[in-house]
Amino acid sequence: MTYWRARTNTLVLLAGAALAGAVAARDAAWLDIAIAIVINALVALSVGLTFGQAGILSAAQGSFAAIGAYTTAILTLKLGWSPWLALPAAISLPAALGYGLARLVARLAPLAVALATLTLSAMVEIVLRSWDDLTGGYVGLAGIPTVLSGHPIAFYALAVGLLAIAVLVYENLMLSRFGRALTTIRADRARAMADGVAVPGLLSAAFALAAAMAGAGGWLYAHYFSYLSPGSLGTELSISVLLMMVVGGARTILGPVAGAVILGVLAQLLPAQEVQGLFYGGALIVILLVARNGLLGLVRREGAL
């Protein structure tokens, strides 16, 4: 199958996730951690796409996840929708917002774009905190219906399925002319324009796709933990997925996923919550010294493909 030979990232992910699932299934606590890691990995994958490929340093991926999570929570809790019916909405609302934001700022310098994403993230947080009637304000929303609640392994499989679809979509993108154009834009925007690429439009489409991935992560979060508050997802998640991306390697497709796994597992092995920040900082410095392109960048020097 030449189709799958060109899409090894998706196959590697499925194999790794199956193995991890088989190990984690013996212990409810580890299965719980594995599910949280997969949700983080989905958001980390989205920041890998925006930064590693489109060159947009986004501090809003956690907020896109929050929008996805709140969308499904509100639709299921207040309007009685089925979670499955709310999934397309939880994906497309962040995508639409991401597209609109990127269309507005894609012409600006990279630093200005990064600041714009930070601004969006602050605005989302303000809306979530102050629109009491809809979002529950500071208290948040509790009692969000769960899906596949029979056995956590079923939910794990669902989360891995969504992550695999996201990796496949990302891989398809990078195998197409649009992927080549993104690579060119990152190296030299003028060169891409001379190839006939409408640069702001393509960057916006890639950014929207990444926001959709983050939205799917938010949907999983809402229906697994069944509780949401303004602090659940947001700026803190945006920063930690950036860290995962750097650790795993931004330019490789699976780098951010690997980063999510490594940091997620290590966080469990560490004793106290208080020293984790110190540990994260130390890990980051060591990795940047040893492997500037992240751990997967070290393994695979050939880049995104």
| Total binding residues toward other proteins, as defined by CB under 8 A | 33
Question: CA 270 to CA 264: how far, in whole Å?
Answer: 10
- Considering only 180, 265, 280, 291, the residue that binds other proteins (CB under 8 A) is 180
Q: How far is the CB of 212 from other proteins (least distance, A)?
A: 10
Q: Any contact of residue 188 with other proteins (CB under 8 A)?
A: yes
- Considering only 197, 237, 260, 261, the residue that binds other proteins (CB under 8 A) is 197
Q: Any contact of residue 191 with other proteins (CB under 8 A)?
A: yes
Question: CA 204 to CA 109: how far, in whole Å?
Answer: 15
Measured from the CB atom, is 172 or 276 closer to other proteins? 172
Q: Any contact of residue 126 with other proteins (CB under 8 A)?
A: no
Q: Any contact of residue 27 with other proteins (CB under 8 A)?
A: no
Q: Any contact of residue 159 with other proteins (CB under 8 A)?
A: no
Stretch 264-303 residues interacting with other proteins (CB under 8 A): 302-303
Cβ neighbors of 3 (< 8 A, separation 6 or more) are: none
136 in helix, strand or coil? coil
Binding region for other proteins (CB under 8 A) out of 98-106, 163-171, 266-274, 280-288: 163-171
Q: In the numeric block, which tokens belong to residue 247? A: 């650790």
Q: Any contact of residue 108 with other proteins (CB under 8 A)?
A: no
What are 227's strand-pairing partners? Answer: 142
Judge residue 266's burial from the number of C-beta atoms within 10 Å of its C-beta, 0-12 exposed, 13-18 middle, 19 or more buried. Answer: middle
Measured from the CB atom, is 7 or 223 closer to other proteins? 7
Measured from the CB atom, is 181 or 257 closer to other proteins? 181
Q: Any contact of residue 184 with other proteins (CB under 8 A)?
A: yes
- Considering only 11, 33, 148, 175, the residue that binds other proteins (CB under 8 A) is 175
Binding region for other proteins (CB under 8 A) out of 133-141, 170-178, 223-231, 269-277: 170-178
Sign of the Cα pseudo-torsion (48, 144, 25, 15, in order) = negative
Give yes or no for a contact between 60 and 118, defined as CB atoms under 8 angstroms apart.
yes
Q: Where are the alpha helices (DSSP H) in 50-198?
A: 61-78, 83-105, 110-130, 132-135, 152-175, 177-187, 189-194
Q: Any contact of residue 202 with other proteins (CB under 8 A)?
A: yes
Sign of the Cα pseudo-torsion (272, 276, 278, 283, in order) = positive
Measured from the CB atom, is 113 or 166 closer to other proteins? 166
Question: CA 42 to CA 162: how far, in whole Å?
Answer: 8
The residue type at 154: A
Q: How far is the CB of 248 from other proteins (least distance, A)?
A: 19
Binding stretches for other proteins (CB under 8 A) = 3, 7, 168-169, 171-173, 175-181, 183-184, 187-188, 190-199, 202, 205, 209, 302-303
